[in-house]
Amino acid sequence: MIRKAKVSDAQQICNILRRSIIELCELDHQKNQKELDEWLANKTIQNCKAWINNKKINFFVAENDGKLVGVSSINHNGFLELCYILPEAKGLGFGRELLKVAENSILDLGIQVFTLESTLTAKGFYEHFGYIQTGIKENSLCYMKFTK
């Protein structure tokens, strides 16, 4: 089940972000502790609460058997801020649903282009859903997808 995130979800969301980065994005950080520390630095409970409360960001969680297993957020300009899942939820369709809900949540704002910065790990995922690589920015792959 996908639903809007609540401030009370912040601790679980922070855990999802941190575990996903540490355990699933090894291709990107290659166990380089300095890189990993920089990537995780803003993945705090306090920041998660602020992101959830931001009125210009739509924030969602995937719930399975009462446990949060994934998160996505998209700003009102069409930039996908986050789309992460727990390692044990990989391949179960939660990422697809989180992406779809995020995109659909801002269509009524007249958004015609979605953009994001992807890890190497998620490259194939985004390409599978129609995103096209447009460049590279600070070790991130830049992608764009036009709406219909």
Biggest distance spanned by C-alpha atoms of the chain: 42
Strand intervals (E) in 45-119: 57-64, 67-75, 79-85, 113-118
So what's the pLDDT on residue 5? 98
**Domains (ranges, CATH) in the chain?**
2-146 (3.40.630.30)
Q: What three-state secondary structure class fits 140?
A: strand
CA dist., res. 11 & res. 143, Å (int): 29
In percent, the amount of the chain with pLDDT more than 90 equals 73
So what's the pLDDT on residue 72? 98
So what's the pLDDT on residue 143? 75
So what's the pLDDT on residue 39? 86
Neighbours of 109 (CB within 10 A): 11
Per-residue pLDDT of the chain (148 residues; tens, 9 = 90+): 999 999 999 999 999 999 999 999 888 788 889 988 998 999 999 999 999 999 999 999 999 999 999 999 999 999 999 999 999 999 999 999 999 999 999 998 999 899 998 988 999 999 999 999 888 877 666 778 876 5
So what's the pLDDT on residue 30? 80
pTM of the model: 0.91
Query: CA-CA distances (angstroms) from residue 43 to 10, 12, 18, 53?
Result: 10, 11, 7, 15
So what's the pLDDT on residue 139? 66
